[in-house]
Amino acid sequence: MSELKYDQKICTKCEKIDCLTRCQHIALDLEEARQEWMKILAGRDSRVLHECLTCYACEEYCPYHNHPFYLIVDRQEELSAWPVPVPLTKQQIAMMAPKGQIVAQKVSAPVINLCSFPMLAGSIQGKLFAGASIIGGNDLFCNIMWLHFAKNSVIRERLPKVINNLMDYYLKVSGVDELICFHDECFGTYTQLAPAFGIEVPFKPIHLFEYLTKKLTELKKEIRPINAKVAYQRPCSNRLVPETQHWVDEIFKLIGAIRPAREYEGENALCCGMVVQAAQRDDRADAIQKRNLDDMAAVGARYCVFNCPMCFMTLKGMVAERGMTPILISDLCRIALGEGFWG
Amino acid sequence: MEEIYRELVKIVGERFVSNQPEERFLYSRDPGTMEPHAPDWVVMPNTTEEVQKIVRLANRQKIPLVPMGGGLVLSGLSRPLQGGMVLDMKRMNRILEVNEASSYVVVEAGASQGMLQAYLKKHHPRLKHSIPDAPPIATIGGNVLIHGSGHLSAAGGFHSEMLNGLEVVLPTGEVARIGSCSASPYWFSRSPLPDLAGLFLGWHGTTGVVTKLAIKLFPARPWNDVGIFVIEDPELAPDIIRRLARVQVAEDILAWMSPKPDWAKGFQMINIAYGAETKAELTLKRDLIRESVRPYLERKVGGFMPLPPDMKVRFLEAPQSTLAVFADVNKGGGFEYVGAIMPVELFAPAFRKGLEIAESRKVPYSLGARIVGLAHCMMFFYAYAFNRADQADVRRAQTALEDTNAMVLEMGGIPWKAETPAQKQIIKKMDPNTFALMNRLRAVLDPQGIMNPGNWEA
């Protein structure tokens, strides 16, 4: 079992405890935060382990990249401080288990990995994805979602096998070394989580945003500017890779979308609410969703653009009720290219 | 025989009577495991008067008469065990009246669930009826008369409890009206008169031919949602179900347990469907439901599945289409179940014993329970799929069904719409005076013993 790469000394010396004092969901002053964090470091129970909504934000807030969120999740699992009722967790683990149905397949770059959302294959079409190979399914599921379920053990068990599947069934046999991650979660998994867990990644993950930026640049002459305000729903996993955020701005610039300044974006972004519902805190989820949607509406957004399919599925109805169009970012780009979009 | 055929032709016309082998074959069986029994004639009346004439003919000639709705009962109740006529009611499928003010509909006995559902959606979109999880061609009349249950049973009880009144052709040919419609132009209730509806409910067509009936309608709400509460300990189910039901918010509460898909195996899922006039009301109801099971949420031993709205759609379907998929899991389209009416406190043993039987008999199974009323009782179902073209497979399912019926009775439940062998098992357990009373009533109503003979007989 791989050990989490974090340095206890860094936390012990930390003066600001940003991971907890900046938490959007648990109110702690500096002294309380220090006390609770010391408990967590010592492997003792803490209210944080029970109140955490698993939004990933503390992973971004830590100025030392010392993986506070992963440590919280490890401790939740060690102390059985389950964020989600046990039967639901077990059921999800069974639901997302590898199916063993994978068949070796020759692919050619660009290889788009849809992870556990192969049903979105209809989105991979048009000029942006011409010639792309599409892969996906439970056998390629990145497994990062177990961070929401206090089940790092499942990540440690399944992720290396997924990486092997990607290599053995697709990339190695095809001589391809780059993998386009359609979903931000996969990019976060392969570039940030896997190293933190001591798991080797033998291919080069490329974020969908980077891929889109490159393709849109190539197709620049064909772009018809969107000329509309677009709100961006930042996925929780993007907290692991905040350095990718600039691609959103690049894409918006290329397609002529206006990104209005919002209260809840960047480090202050709000969760879509799905994991909060899984934690059986619907009242909190309602409040978070309302703040988020009010904020989108207040800036006059015409579209709400998503990367995460789960955020999309969770919020799209509510977004539409507010008169905005919910849309995946790849589909918004396709509109700018004069193509219809799927879904 | 030929003379009877000609008499029937005179009554309903040549197109609607048959003594041909194709029809006799089709009407000899249903999709369940019971042995076929062919009728001598199949006849499709169009009016109550035609039904009367057919009943009188059967009386004169002492010919067995078996009324049939959709023919989907699965337990073989409309097979003519002693030959004679099958009276197929499907032509009498008119929707006669919808009373919006008093929320009821009057239909002919052959009106199907799908027809009424579509009719209400088009003409009375704020009203709906309780739909069983049966194919849309299942009839309203048939389901009410077997004490069916459906998607509004948590709110309104058994479908027979939603019955306001009926018109029936007695086995001797007279037409009687039961309920308020016997003394009023309105079909609003069975009260306050002596309730004679019980003479025709649960009798499997042995006491008369129901030709019209009125059932209660319920509000069709613009906002609808479903919560799916998941546990992995069936011992917890009765208390959880009681709590969920007693909030008095659910329209339907349905527990389901199945080895497929893989993620369902070992868990008990409880669907709670509810509707509201506004989104705020829907949220309030969701919160009330959630609050009712708070102790289980806090102990982390159960919780509501986090499902985006898109994924909930199929759980809000009425009827549920997933059952059709299960019914053909072995291919060959064979499907039958024991529906056991029993107290909710028997949930855990009912589940465990059902599992034992299915696994020991090696039949694909799906178990579940539809909650009736505020957890006043449940219809616990043990569904077994089989390939009708494979006799060994049919026999395996048959044995599992027989074992299940025996187990249900032993536990204190009662098999619903029981096959004739199960009826005999029930009669053995029944108070002898009750059975004697049934026989006396039947003898009075049907002196010639022509109505669906072979049923409810020792």
Structural domains of chain B, ranges and CATH numbers in brackets:
2-90 (3.30.43.10), 91-219 (3.30.465.10), 223-418 (3.40.462.10)
Helix axes B391-411, B420-429, angle to 10 degrees: 20
CB distance from A310 to chain B under 8 Å? yes
* Burial (0-12, 13-18, 19+ Cβ within 10 Å), B135: middle
Of B108, B133, B98, B398, the closest CA to residue B218 belongs to B98
Which of B257, B300, B301, B313 best probes binding to A when mutated, by most A CB atoms within 10 angstroms? Answer: B300
The helix (H) or strand (E) run that includes residue B347 is helix B347-361
B240: exposed, middle or buried (C-beta count within 10 Å: 0-12, 13-18, 19+)?
Answer: buried
- Cβ of A277 within 8 Å of Cβ of B283? The answer is no
* One-letter amino acid for residue B1 of the chain: M
Sign for the CA dihedral angle at B34, B39, B43, B49 comes to negative
pLDDT at B439: 98
Give the separation between CA A333 and CA A213, rounded to whole angstroms: 10
Distance CA A263, CA A260 (A): 10
User: Is the confidence at residue A341, as pLDDT, over 70?
Assistant: no
Residue carrying structure tokens 């199974």:
B365
Q: Which residue in chain B is spatially nearest to A92 when comparing CA positions?
A: B263
Whole-angstrom distance, CA of residue B84 vs CA of residue B82: 7
Does residue A100 sit at the B interface (CB-CB below 8 Å)? no
Model confidence over B197-234: pLDDT tens digits? Answer: 999 999 999 999 999 999 999 999 999 999 999 999 99
3-state secondary structure of A77: helix
A288 part of contact set with chain B, CB < 8 Å:
no
Kindly report, residue by residue over A249-289, the tens digit of the pLDDT: 999 999 999 999 999 999 999 999 999 999 999 999 999 99
Q: Hey, what long-range contacts does A17-22 have (CB within 8 A, 24 or more apart)?
A: A18/A58, A18/A61, A18/A62, A18/A63, A19/A58, A19/A61, A19/A62, A19/A68, A19/A69, A20/A48, A20/A58, A20/A68, A22/A57, A22/A58, A22/A61
Give the mean pLDDT of A137-156. Answer: 97
- Given this model, what pLDDT does residue A285 score? 97
- Is the Cβ–Cβ distance between A124 and B289 less than 8 Å? no
- What percentage of chain A exceeds 70 in pLDDT? 99
d(CA A202, CA A34): 38
* Confidence tier at A128 by pLDDT (50, 70, 90): very high
B321 strand-pairing partners: none
- The CA angle A22-A23-A28, to the nearest 5 degrees, is 80
Distance CA B451, CA B434 (A): 20
pLDDT in tens, B56-73: 999 999 999 999 999 998
From-to residues of CATH 3.40.50.1860 in chain A:
219-336
Is residue B96 classed as helix, strand or coil in its secondary structure? Answer: strand
* Interface residue of A86, A311, A314 to substitute, partner B, most B CBs within 10 Å: A86
A280 interface with B at CB cutoff 8 Å: yes
Is B301–A317 a contact, with Cβ atoms under 8 angstroms apart?
no
The nearest alpha carbon in chain A to B260 belongs to A95
Side chain identity, residue A148: H
Residue A343 has pLDDT above 60, yes or no: no
Q: How many CB pairs under 8 A join A and B?
A: 63
CA distance B187 to A115: 58
Mutate to test the interface with B, among A49, A88, A145 (most CBs of B within 10 A): A88
Please write the tens of the pLDDT for every residue from B363-377.
888 899 999 999 999
Stated as kind and residue range, the H or E segment containing B13 is: none
Within 8 A of B297 by CB-CB distance, chain A residues are 85, 280
pLDDT at B291 (0 to 100):
97
Exposure string over B351-382, b if 16+ CB within 10 A, otherwise e: bebbbebbeebebbbbbbbbbbbbbebbbbbb
The answer to whether residue A342 scores a pLDDT higher than 80 is no
Q: Please check whether residue A244 is in contact with residue A60, taking contact to mean a CB–CB distance below 8 angstroms.
A: no
- 245-304 in chain B: CB under 8 A from chain A: 261-267, 283, 286-287, 290, 296-297, 300-304
What is the spatial distance between Cα B150 and Cα B140, in angstroms, rounded to a whole number?
11
- Give the residue on B whose Cα is nearest the Cα of A97: B263
Contact yes or no for B29/B70 (Cβ under 8 A): no
pLDDT digits (tens, 9 = 90+) for A57-73: 999 999 999 999 999 99
CB contact under 8 A, A94 and B265: yes
Q: Which fold has domain A94-212?
A: Rossmann fold (3.40.50)
Q: Does B313 touch chain A (CB under 8 A)?
A: no
Query: What pLDDT sits at residue B386?
Result: 86
Q: A94 and B297 in contact by Cβ < 8 A? A: no
Q: What is the mean pLDDT of residues B181-210?
A: 98
| Cβ(A299)–Cβ(A326) below 8 Å | no
Cβ–Cβ contact A323 with B under 8 A: no
Task: Give the separation between CA B383 and CA B363, rounded to whole angstroms.
Answer: 9
Facing residue for A313 by CB, picked from B266, B302, B308: B308
Query: Is A286 touching B (CB cutoff 8 A)?
Result: yes
As for the ipTM of the complex, it is 0.94
- Which residue, among B275, B245, B232, has the nearest Cα to B378 in the 3D structure? B245
Fold for domain A219-336?
Rossmann fold (3.40.50)
Query: Parallel, antiparallel, or unpaired for β B268-276 and B252-257?
Result: antiparallel
Q: Which candidate, B212, B214, B209, B211, places its Cα nearest to that of B170?
A: B209
pTM score over 0.80: yes
Q: Cα(A87)–Cα(A278) distance, rounded to whole angstroms?
A: 11
Question: pLDDT of B333-367, one tens digit each?
Answer: 778 888 999 999 999 999 999 999 988 888 888 89
Tokens of B456: 């409810």
Report the mean per-residue pLDDT for chain B: 95
A interface test, pick of B225, B229, B230 with most A CB neighbours within 10 Å: B230
Tokens of residue B372, six digits: 């009736």
pLDDT at site A196: 96
Q: Which of B311, B332, B317 is nearest to B263 (CA)?
A: B311
Locus of tokens 């300990």: B233
Please, which residues 41-80 of chain A have a Cβ atom closer than 8 Å to chain B?
Answer: none
Spell out which residues of chain B touch residue A275, defining contact as CB-CB under 8 Å: 306
Name the strands in the sheet holding A133-135, side by side, starting at the edge strand that comes first in the sequence.
A133-135, A111-113, A178-181, A204-207
Reference A208, options A233, A188, A227, A192; nearest CA is A188
The vertex-B37 CA angle with B32 and B38, nearest 5°, equals 120
For residue B321, the model assigns a pLDDT of 84
